């Protein structure tokens, strides 16, 4: 890029002023929930071993979402915090995994992914998005889309680069940016004013976020936590800005198949002008209900793929070999599988939302993914964290405090998120407990 000379970069990296500016921006990634806990606060701040630690790790906390799962276990609460299904994965893919282990697919796969899986990913990108992908040169299979995202950011970001992120955001993106040396720049998604409305952003605010330091935009559609599915015209606006400012789009599309009411998922890479400047991230976790298998991937132009593959190789060597074979089988499931998946989640959404509304939450109806963001103003709590603590300890349901999805915790202080990727019995039990709030 013409405006990003190596000398400029070097200077930015060395400047103390730059470092301290970044520190204050990134400090706000700390979660109030964890910041008050002894486990989080103690070692890095006061122990004599402080000098053993990287400065980077002081800029963020452990995941609040995963912490809420531990809280749920501690208090025997119904876990509607973390987005993992509590029902079985499809038997076809479990059998494929068992067969792969039985056939001794037990050693390292090719670092950037088993051939069968890469071929299946390329084939399905053609079927679902009309994109031709070279499985030999443009796909990197990673340990989940989580690793695909951090490997991509480490592969493309230099110190001083900025990464545009819509907020509320999936909490990993903040620490991912810090770890890769980039500075996150947040653009607000505003909640719908009416029941039929959509989360929306201000075009001027988005335009202002793009400048000569912008390296990439991270886009998650269908979106966690809002359930927003970006429309074609929104994506075209983002596309135009990416082209105009020479910016890369890194799109997290792991909820691609979880859509409601005929909403359409459009992959950024399918838009004219984006083929050469998009990294598409996806994985098995959500589409096939196997979040613990840790298989995801990044699809990118060859040069970017080469860089991602280098990072990935030294981070993890490779994703679990037998589960990659099962991944190839999963991607061969018929179209009915995906229709049934989406319909199953629509039923679960419509199961949970009425109980939340009856209990006093204002729900923002999701168009995709499997979460519902809610407004908790009616309960009169000081903030989302005290409410989430009360809910898990006294009511027996865990949720995720809204502040963990925002840079400034105050922006999420009136929101909490519930996951509905659960069995009907789980949702029934949650509803029974949530009803106590209305009494
Ligand atoms: C938007 C988003 N991206 C990535 C992930 C993690 O995906 P994976 O299990 O493939 O690492 C999640 C999990 O909740 C998510 O919501």
Nearest CA among 214, 290, 298 for reference residue 250? 298
The residues lining ligand 1, judged by C-beta closer than 6 Å to any ligand atom, are 83, 144-146, 170, 220, 224, 252, 254, 283, 285, 291, 296
**Mean pLDDT of the residues in the chain:** 89
Q: Kindly give the number of the ligand 1 atom that is closest to the alpha carbon of 84.
A: 14
Which of 69, 151, 255, 285 has most ligand 1 atoms within 8 Å of CB, for mutation? 285
pLDDT tens digits for 247-263?
999 999 999 999 999 99
Tell me how crowded residue 16 is: count the other CB atoms within 10 A of its CB. Answer: 7
| Confidence band, pLDDT 50/70/90 cuts, at residue 48 | low
Q: Which residue has the tokens 């949650």?
A: 430
Phi, psi of 395 (to 5 degrees): -100, -25
Q: Kindly give the number of the ligand 1 atom that is closest to the alpha carbon of 145.
A: 10
Taking the alpha carbons of 15, 20, 21, 26 in that order, is the dihedral positive or negative?
Answer: positive
Angle at 28 between CA 31 and CA 247, to 5 degrees: 115
- Between the CA of 124 and the centroid of ligand 1 the distance, in Å, is 20
- Between the CA of 388 and the centroid of ligand 1 the distance, in Å, is 22
pLDDT tens digits for 94-153?
999 999 999 999 999 999 999 999 999 999 999 999 999 999 999 999 999 999 999 999
On whether the CB atoms of residues 194 and 200 are closer than 8 A, the answer is no
pLDDT tens digits for 297-348?
999 999 999 999 999 999 999 999 999 999 999 999 999 999 999 999 999 9
- Would you say the pTM of this structure is higher than 0.85? yes
Query: How large a percentage of the chain has pLDDT more than 90?
Result: 80
* DSSP string for residues in 225-241: TT-----HHHHHHHHHH
Phi, psi of 186 (to 5 degrees): -95, 140
Closest C-alpha to ligand 1, atom 6? 146
Which of 65, 146, 316, 366 has most ligand 1 atoms within 8 Å of CB, for mutation? 146
pLDDT tens digits for 191-209?
998 877 899 999 999 999 9
Q: DSSP letter at 189?
A: P
């Amino acid at each position: 890029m013409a405006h990003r000379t190596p000398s400029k970069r070097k200077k930015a990296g060395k400047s103390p002023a730059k470092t301290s500016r970044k520190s204050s921006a990134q400090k706000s990634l700390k979660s109030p929930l964890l910041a008050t806990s002894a486990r989080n606060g103690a070692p890095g701040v006061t122990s004599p071993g402080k000098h053993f630690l990287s400065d980077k790790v002081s800029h963020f906390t452990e995941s609040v979402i995963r912490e809420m799962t531990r809280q749920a276990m501690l208090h025997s609460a119904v876990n509607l915090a973390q987005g993992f299904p509590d029902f079985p994965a499809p038997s076809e893919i479990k059998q494929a995994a068992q067969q792969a282990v039985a056939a001794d697919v037990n050693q390292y796969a090719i670092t950037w992914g088993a051939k069968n899986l890469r071929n299946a990913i390329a084939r399905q990108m053609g079927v679902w998005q009309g994109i031709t992908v070279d499985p030999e040169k443009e796909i990197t299979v990673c340990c989940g889309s989580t690793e695909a995202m951090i490997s991509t950011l480490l592969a493309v970001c230099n110190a001083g680069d900025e990464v545009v992120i819509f907020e509320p955001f999936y909490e990993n993106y903040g620490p991912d940016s810090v770890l890769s040396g980039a500075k996150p720049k947040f653009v607000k998604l505003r909640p719908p004013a009416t029941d039929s409305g959509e989360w929306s952003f201000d075009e001027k605010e988005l335009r202002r976020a793009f400048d000569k330091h912008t390296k990439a935009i991270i886009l998650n559609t269908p979106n966690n936590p809002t359930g927003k599915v970006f429309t074609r015209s929104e994506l075209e606006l983002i596309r135009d800005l990416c082209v105009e400012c020479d910016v890369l789009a890194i799109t997290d599309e792991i909820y691609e198949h979880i859509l409601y009411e005929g909403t359409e998922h459009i992959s950024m890479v399918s838009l004219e002008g984006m083929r050469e400047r998009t990294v598409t991230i996806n994985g098995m976790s959500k589409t096939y209900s196997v979040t613990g298998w840790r298989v995801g991937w990044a699809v990118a132009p060859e040069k970017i793929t080469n860089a991602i593959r280098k990072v990935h190789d030294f981070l993890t060597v490779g994703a679990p070999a037998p589960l990659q074979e099962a991944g190839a089988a999963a991607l061969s499931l018929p179209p009915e599988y995906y229709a049934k998946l989406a319909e199953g989640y629509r039923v679960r959404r419509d199961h949970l939302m009425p109980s939340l509304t009856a209990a006093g939450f204002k729900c923002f109806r999701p168009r995709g993914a499997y979460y519902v963001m809610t407004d908790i103003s009616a309960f009169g709590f000081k903030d989302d964290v005290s409410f989430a603590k009360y809910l898990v300890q006294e009511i027996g349901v865990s949720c995720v405090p809204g502040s963990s999805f925002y840079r400034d915790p105050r922006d999420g202080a009136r929101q909490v998120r519930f996951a509905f990727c659960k069995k009907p019995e789980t949702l029934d039990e949650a509803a029974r407990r949530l009803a106590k709030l209305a009494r």
